[in-house]
Amino acid sequence: MKFKRLIIQFLEAETSSLVSTFIDFITTALLVQYAGWWYVIATSVGAACGGITNAIINYNWTFKGTEQQKRTILYRYFLVWIGSLILNTAGTTLVANIISHDGTAKAFGIVMESKTIVAIIVAIFWNFTMQKRFVYKQ
């Protein structure tokens, strides 16, 4: 039964991650494509918007809160989110520069492809694991 709950919780977390990633990507795309922001800064702002969305959804749905104080959860979530922000921003920058061949990563498509690859890896291996075992540990 524990394994079944783990699978359900993983699927809920990944659904939350998809919604949050949508917010993140839309924000990043709008800032890069229409506001003319540098993609590294736009990636960080998008990640912040996605992180806030993810925190709200996961607290209320995926992990359904806990007996822990909200302050403790917020503090732990913030630490995990900072790690996620660093991994997403640095990873997107690295992958975009590798894919671009000239190290400039100016093409919008390259930025979004890189962001997608990195977001999937970070969501599965960092965000879910750290939220399950550190933020919402029971």
Q: Give the CA distances from residue 111 to residues 10, 29, 66, 97, in Å, rounded to whole numbers and listed in that order.
A: 27, 9, 37, 9
Own/partner long-range contacts of 108-111 (Cβ < 8 Å, ≥24 apart): 108/29, 108/32, 108/33, 111/28, 111/32, 111/39, 111/43
Question: Which residue type, as a one-letter code, is found at position 33?
Answer: Q
59 exposure class (CB count in 10 Å sphere: 0-12, 13-18, 19+): buried
Record the tokens describing residue 24, joined without a space: 């993140």
Q: What is the pLDDT tens value at each position of the chain, 138 positions in all?
A: 688 888 888 899 889 988 998 999 899 999 999 999 998 899 889 988 998 999 899 888 888 766 778 888 889 999 999 999 899 889 988 998 888 876 666 677 888 889 899 988 998 899 989 998 999 886
Show me where the domains of the chain are located. Answer: 2-135
pTM value is 0.78
- Determine the Cα–Cα distance for residues 48 and 50; give it in Å rounded to an integer: 5
